[in-house]
Structure 1
Amino acid sequence: MSQSSHVCKNPEVFNTSFYAFTIITLKNRSYFNTLIRKKMILTKLGRYNCFDPFGSSIRRSSNLSNNRSSTHISSKSEKDRFYNLSSSSPTASSFNVITPQLAQTIPSEILIEICRYLHPVDLYSLASVCKRYRNLLWSKCSTTTQEIWKNSRLKYVPNLSMTPPVEMSEQEYIWLMLILKKCMFCEERNKFELTMYWEFRIYCCQKCLDDRTVSRHTLLNEWNVHDILLSCFIQLQRSSNPRDPPLYLIEDVKTTLNNYNQLSEDEKPHWIINREKMISKLQLENEQYNHIHDLTRYDHTERLERLLKKLHEFYTWPKHRSM
């Protein structure tokens, strides 16, 4: 195929797309240099000499213009057209500026190609730019979307090599493990007050956990749940302290009891056996995910501090729970 067949026929779309590529990659020069050497993006666009990747402008080549003068996009003149992403964005990323025109006109194939080289944090920020980007990057059923997030996870977050659970998308997995920075139910942001409870798929503070869980004692004596059903609930053993009883998520308890009560008397024993097997398997899996989460979210010093905190809790009788 000739080089001319690769050339973008719409000069405005071409320049806007390359402008986006430059904005996204200038702050990530290490792997941008690799792309230039391999000509992966340039080959796809069919352009090899149309821009200065680290210069102050993007130039339109002469064969796309009726005159011989180059069209320069000055960073100073373009500054007025930029807008900042929402300050509520959970992470700081390279997508702190973007043009409204760019968000709507960049070709999908170029956008997908760019996304293949971005960190998960940048993918999340890009998904917050506009509805079009969110539809592309937050789709749970698109194989392309899932591959983008999976490749980004494996490339930039090596601790997250374990695949997500079957029922969880790549985006949800990365969001819970890495991107989420505050309690899912309140505004608490102190990471030493927050804990991942993978059993319940929640990242929250102690107060919010207490509001959404129930103890064994409460289930048996206030909810009048038969003790044979306790093994059918997903339980959270918050620590190795034997004086600290396991907790159960209220929502899960209600759902499980509802499913159980809908069964006939003949079906219930078999259902309990299968449920216990599933819970036993989940407990081993949840331990792995909780461990991976700590390796991913906390550095060595933070993990040590959290370990000391758990050690302190081991010798402290929990005042907020009763047996």
Structure 2
Amino acid sequence: MTLALEGRTAIITGAGGGLGRAHALYLAGRGVRVAVNDVSADAAERVAHEIAAHGGTATAVAGSVTDEAAVGAMVEAVLAAWGRVDILVNNAGILRDKSFAKMTIADFRTVVDVHLIGAAICTKAVWEAMRAQRFGRIVMTTSSSGLYGNFGQANYGAAKMALVGLMQTLAIEGEKYDIRVNCLAPTAATQMTEGVLDAESLTMLAPDRVSPALLALVADDAPTRMVVCAGAGHVATANVTLTHGRYVGHAADAGEQVVSRWSEIVDRSGEIVPGYGFVQAEREVAAARADA
């Protein structure tokens, strides 16, 4: 894998603290020029100054990822200053945790707007520049709450799993332009996890123990369409798989066939990771033709 990042340019959202700050410091330490984005101008400036103090190159760009005009201006400023945008890390996020029974639609919409729509806005803003230069590395920040669920996080989990779907399609559409799109599912002690974990766990889950996982996702030889889970120095991958399944036909008892053959349908031996969404339909039609 080609790891040299010297001279690359990155935009990292929500980088005024926590995980985003760790990402910014890590990439800057690898020679990447970093645009530090945060809704707080003061926080963004602090991180940019911190990078400069360590000999790196950074600029602070304040603005909400949900503000299309502000995001557009941010990208234009980076292009004007550095000529290209090579890396986008969609990290900005918020929490509005409540059980679904107590959650308002406003709570739901706000979280989805920041995590999902914000990531889409930022990605759209860099997409044409990346296509034109025929190079791009985009990292969506997903979560185990989206992949596997978590009590009190229906809004957050829905947004985070939606980012996996966004990644899947953008990776396909970006392939011919060498735009590689992946997801990072971090476990890190930040303001978003205070009060949830004990002190020892918080130390182990320091944000800077997640950031090294970024290296593989933004390198020249980066994979694409991967979900990488990282925390406490441990790295794994998660996959959306498809079981072999069973053909049950379309007779009057098809529903009963599903019920009676359920253990065969959910059997994970021989499951695959489809290369694209239409694989499901192809397998279904093939099974129907085989039975004809």
TM-score, normalised on structure 2? 0.27
Pick the structure with greater CA Rg.
Answer: 1
Higher percent of residues as strand: 2
Higher percent of residues as helix: 1
